[in-house]
């Protein structure tokens, strides 16, 4: 099964909580706070899997979560850092933000990419000792890890894309010039997924060729398998259109050329304007300069496409075609690598760092309690140690200064009402 577009959820590990601890040892005159820091949460990292050419790995697994950091301990012991989670993807996978559709990363350079960073560990109480506060009974909680909804889209990396109507001989051509072994049979739509092959042209030179199936009339609007696979030729530097010059399928070669040109134009004008070579296949089935072959060459010449007469059955013309492809590729820029439209930092900032008190939502629960939620409030609650008086005073001041208390009043909250937020429950005091 070929899967080339899928949505997944990724969540980095949360940082461990800092520890509240004091050094107490017999015969040791000076004790004091010795609570250790929490460990860092694990990252979510994309890594290229050179042996994969599909997103089948994600068919049954859509949610990924890295390990949380360990909590700090007494004796200034640091919590364990969470292990990073590596997700394998094929080369050429484009990672997008699912909500906006913007590109975060094009996995074409072979480098690991951290898509979600683990949360920082909270500080232990050893950090909060001052000359006037010598016994800090609070520590910081760990910060939650980044969490994203992502859309993975595979756009195969190939120098040359073979396009054409069914049974034109694209798979046969790929099999004739490379070690690829696509399925070949005498019926339409034999190939149901793109195939890649490396073509060796000698002296350690060569190029990657892709056989793109599913193109029929209406493919540009999604007919057949058009939209499923047209994206895979968007990176190709050169197109080779394979045309059945014999007309054995009952189609006119000129109509075939125009049909594919129209579908490419419909899907992407930029793709339709890409350099193209026409491979007139099955020339072994016609006698010399047939009328329909000459018409095909005249039509291609008018469009600026060179024509090479070939036969994949007898292998005639293949060397000429390969030399022409190599010559054209030497003039063209490298394979397209898509620029990021949204950095991971931007995505996380939109989700979390730019959270403001105004994003707080207050709802009335069935039992009459007031439930508060919001990214800013979640961040605030993660910094509070509720068993410490000073920390509670800071929490109350933050709620007042941010306007949350006023929001609660506007929602109808009065003295003695129950308020809940992120696992905390207290009575409202006006």
pLDDT tens-digit series, residues 400-409: 888 889 889 9
Tokens encoding 317: 């013309």
> What does pLDDT average to over the chain?
83
The domain made up of 5-154+339-348 is a member of CATH 2.60.120.620: no
Question: What is the Cα–Cα distance from 208 to 232, expressed in whole angstroms?
Answer: 13
Tokens in use for 418? 């129950």
Which residues of the chain form CATH 3.30.300.350?
Answer: 355-427
pLDDT tens column, 37-71: 999 999 999 999 887 877 888 888 999 999 999 99
Task: Count the helices and strands in the chain (H runs, E runs).
Answer: 10, 20
Least confident of 232-246, 247-261, 283-297, 386-400: 386-400
pLDDT tens digits, one per residue of 171-214: 888 888 887 665 554 544 444 567 778 888 777 678 888 887 75
Sign of CA dihedral 276, 282, 288, 289: negative
Say which CATH class 160-329 falls into: alpha beta
Q: Name the segment(s) of the chain with CATH classification 2.70.210.12.
A: 5-154+339-348
pTM of this structure: 0.69
Note the pLDDT tens digit of each residue in 295-327. Answer: 999 999 999 999 999 998 899 999 999 999 999
DSSP string of 278-308, one letter each residue: EEEE-GGGS-SS-HHHHHHHHHHHHHT--EE
Cα–Cα distance between 158 and 253 in angstroms, integer?
26
Residue 3's pLDDT band, with cuts at 50, 70 and 90, is low
Fold of 355-427: GMP Synthetase; Chain A, domain 3 (3.30.300)
Tens of pLDDT along 78-114? 999 999 999 999 888 999 999 888 999 999 888 899 9
Bridge partner residues of 243 (DSSP)? 280
Cα distance between residue 224 and residue 326, in whole Å: 31
- Residue ranges, comma separated, of all CATH 3.40.50.300 domains in the chain are 160-329
Q: What is the pLDDT of residue 215?
A: 64
């Amino acid at each position: 099964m070929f899967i080339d577009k899928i949505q997944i959820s990724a969540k980095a590990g949360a940082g461990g909580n800092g520890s509240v601890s004091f050094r107490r040892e017999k015969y040791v005159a000076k004790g004091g706070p010795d609570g250790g820091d929490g460990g860092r949460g694990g990252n979510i990292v994309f890594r290229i899997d050179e042996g994969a050419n599909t997103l089948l790995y994600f068919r049954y697994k859509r949610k990924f979560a890295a390990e949380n950091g360990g909590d700090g301990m007494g004796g200034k012991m640091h919590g364990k850092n969470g292990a990073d989670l590596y997700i394998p993807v094929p080369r050429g996978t484009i990672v997008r933000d699912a909500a906006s559709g913007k590109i975060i990363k094009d996995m074409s350079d072979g480098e690991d990419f951290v898509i979600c960073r683990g949360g920082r560990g909270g500080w232990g109480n050893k950090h909060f000792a001052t000359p006037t506060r010598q016994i800090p009974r609070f520590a910081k909680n760990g910060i939650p890890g980044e969490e994203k909804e992502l859309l993975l889209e595979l756009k195969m990396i190939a120098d040359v894309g073979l396009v054409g109507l069914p049974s034109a001989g694209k798979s046969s051509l790929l099999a004739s010039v490379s070690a690829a072994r696509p399925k070949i049979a005498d019926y339409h739509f034999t190939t149901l997924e793109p195939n890649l092959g490396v073509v060796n042209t000698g002296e350690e030179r060569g190029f990657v060729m892709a056989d793109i199936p599913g193109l029929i009339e209406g493919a540009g609007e999604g007919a057949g398998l058009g939209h499923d696979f047209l994206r895979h030729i968007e990176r190709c530097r050169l197109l080779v259109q394979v045309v059945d010059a014999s007309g054995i399928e009952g189609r006119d070669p000129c109509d075939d050329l125009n049909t594919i040109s129209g579908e490419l134009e419909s899907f992407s004008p930029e793709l339709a304007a890409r350099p193209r070579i026409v491979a007139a296949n099955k020339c072994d089935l016609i006698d010399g300069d047939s009328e329909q072959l000459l018409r095909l060459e005249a039509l291609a010449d008018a469009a600026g496409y060179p024509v090479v007469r070939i036969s994949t059955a007898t292998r005639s013309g293949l060397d000429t075609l390969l030399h022409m492809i190599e010559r054209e590729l030497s003039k063209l820029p490298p394979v397209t690598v898509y620029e990021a439209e949204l950095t991971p930092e931007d995505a996380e900032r939109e989700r979390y760092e730019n959270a403001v008190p105004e994003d707080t939502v207050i709802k009335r629960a069935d039992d009459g309690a007031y439930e508060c939620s919001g990214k800013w409030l979640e961040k605030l609650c993660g910094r509070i140690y509720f068993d410490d008086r000073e920390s509670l005073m800071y929490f109350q001041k933050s709620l007042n200064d941010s306007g949350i208390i006023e929001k609660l009043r506007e929602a109808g909250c009065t003295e003695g009402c129950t308020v809940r937020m992120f696992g905390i429950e207290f009575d409202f005091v006006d």
